[in-house]
Amino acid sequence: MDTLWEALEKYAKYLDMEVFVCSRAEISRLVGNLDYQRKMVGVDGFCDYESSLIWVYNRSTNPKSFVLAHELAHAILDRDLSEYWKNKKRYELRANRVAAIVYEKTSRILPPWFQFTPPEFDELTAQRIADQILEFYIA
């Protein structure tokens, strides 16, 4: 594990969230809700605010630290799941942008599929949240 992963786990604990790395089947079983299970096809991580848990898929083709930074962005920005499901693409792009800034600030290469910030998302907010997430990172 790299120091970025460890720092992200510490930040999750700071937010009173636990991080689990597991298979998609385990994530689906743990989530239990059939609506969520259907929506999680192709998902590399999941943030469950009510249970204070973040799951990261153990066979993700994306870097696990990017997925965890993305889920931490959700933990900070997207507490209202009813709004999330109405605006999923927008919320996913915001979380991707925060995770990308975390990667840029720690000199890591972005995943090739990375999409840029949606125009309505304030770049300064993304920077501020990335700085919060990196609070425990020591280069």
3 state DSSP class of 40: coil
Radius of gyration of the chain (CA): 14
Contact between residue 66 and residue 40 where contact means Cβ atoms under 8 Å apart: no
Q: Can you tell me the distance from the alpha carbon of 93 to that of 32, in angstroms, rounded to the nearest whole number?
A: 26
Dihedral angle of Cα 70, 73, 77, 10, to the nearest 10 degrees: 140
- Which pLDDT does position 50 carry in this prediction? 82
Domains of the chain: total: 1
The DSSP call for residue 55 is E
- Which pLDDT does position 91 carry in this prediction? 86
State the residue for tokens 């096809």. 41
pTM higher than 0.85: no
- Which pLDDT does position 1 carry in this prediction? 43
Q: Can you tell me the distance from the alpha carbon of 90 to that of 104, in angstroms, rounded to the nearest whole number?
A: 21
Per-residue pLDDT of the chain (139 residues; tens, 9 = 90+): 458 999 999 999 999 999 999 887 777 676 665 565 556 666 788 888 888 889 898 876 678 899 999 999 999 988 777 777 788 888 888 898 899 999 989 988 887 777 665 666 788 888 899 999 998 887 6
Which residues does residue 53 pair with via DSSP β-bridges, in sequence order? 18, 48
The DSSP call for residue 116 is P
Domain that residue 91 falls in: 3-136
Phi, psi of 22 (to 5 degrees): -155, 175
